[in-house]
Amino acid sequence: MFQHVFVPLDGSVRAEQALPVAARLARATHATITLLQVVSPPSEFIKGVGEIVLPVLLDEDELAARAYLERVAQTSMLEEIATTIKIVIGHPAQQILSAAYADHADLLVMCSHGETDPTQWSVGSIAQKVARHASSPVLLLHEDGLLLAELAGQVRVLVPLDGSEYAEVALRHASVLASVLSAPAAGELHLTRMVSPQLRKGSSADEEVEKSWQYLNLVIKRLQQQAQQEAGGPPNVHMSCSVMTVDDAASGIIQAARMKGEREPARADEGTHVIALTPYGHGGPQFWALGSTAERVLQAARQPLLIVR
């Protein structure tokens, strides 16, 4: 897990904010890093002919991209990390996804906004398209958000669950991320479940809340048992859980990320540092729909997001 980390770059300082986090993860897990840049073919529209690619300019852009990536690969933050560079031609989101899949990347780390995406988290943005379609986990950072690479001590990862096996897919990756980013301290994995006040027929609010507590504690117990059986050593994490009664799951997740415990508001350094979630739950592995819980958390959260399909 986290043995081949992909970092898409576009030449901007903003996109490069992913580098310290990727380097920290790679050092802790002995992973390799691939620095990727997508070059969009320069073209010109000619009346009566249509759009044509300009080969000379394309060659120049490729050379510039190679020089840039080689310079980044030689920086001190990537020292002693096995680092390769990759340049591809085409549409940024599509080529990032294709390259990561072809090279068997097991984590993409990228900033939510760079030179090619001036409107942060706009519908259809590059970062959003990658998060929606990537087959491997994606760690998304916000330009004006929390800088994971600068954290010292315990890192808290929040994992919203809805009782489905699909939602639980994020647990293993979240546990490893919390452990790696917190080292040498122990990380914290906090599980939370949202209970709607619009209950099923024949069920009371208290019963649903109690069932949720039982479910989350069973998940924690199972994770602890699995950790004890791991030959390579379990992730160094503490586990906790909370249940919230809310009208809207996405808003509840955002609220839970701002809490220190179940009801206590947190300072910026005490709340959730990363939200880990899957883009599906009881509905199964369906395509993200605009307005879905995962999509709305993606749009609204200020913390880094670990998206696990």
pTM of the predicted protein model: 0.85
The model's confidence at residue 239, banded by pLDDT at 50, 70 and 90, is very high
CA distance 229 to 234: 8
pLDDT at 96: 94
pLDDT at 261: 53
Checking if the pLDDT of 279 tops 90, the result is no
Higher-pLDDT residue of 266 and 38 is 38
Q: Domain segments of the chain: what residues?
A: 4-141, 154-280+292-307
Q: Which of 9-13, 80-84, 142-146 has the lowest mean pLDDT?
A: 142-146
| Cα angle for residues 283, 289, 293 (degrees, 5° grid) | 70
Mean predicted lDDT score pLDDT of the chain: 81
CA distance 152 to 161: 27
- Which residues lie below 8 Å from residue 209, measured CB to CB, with a gap of 6+? 195, 243, 245
pLDDT at 1: 78
Tell which residue, 184, 256, 273, 274, has the closest CA to residue 216.
256
Could you tell me if 146 and 303 are in contact, meaning their C-beta atoms sit under 8 angstroms apart? yes
* CATH assignment of 4-141, among 3.40.50.300, 3.40.50.620, 3.30.450.40, 1.10.10.10: 3.40.50.620
CA distance 145 to 304: 7
The model's confidence at residue 284, banded by pLDDT at 50, 70 and 90, is low
The model's confidence at residue 266, banded by pLDDT at 50, 70 and 90, is very low
CATH 3.30.2030.30 applies to domain 154-280+292-307: no
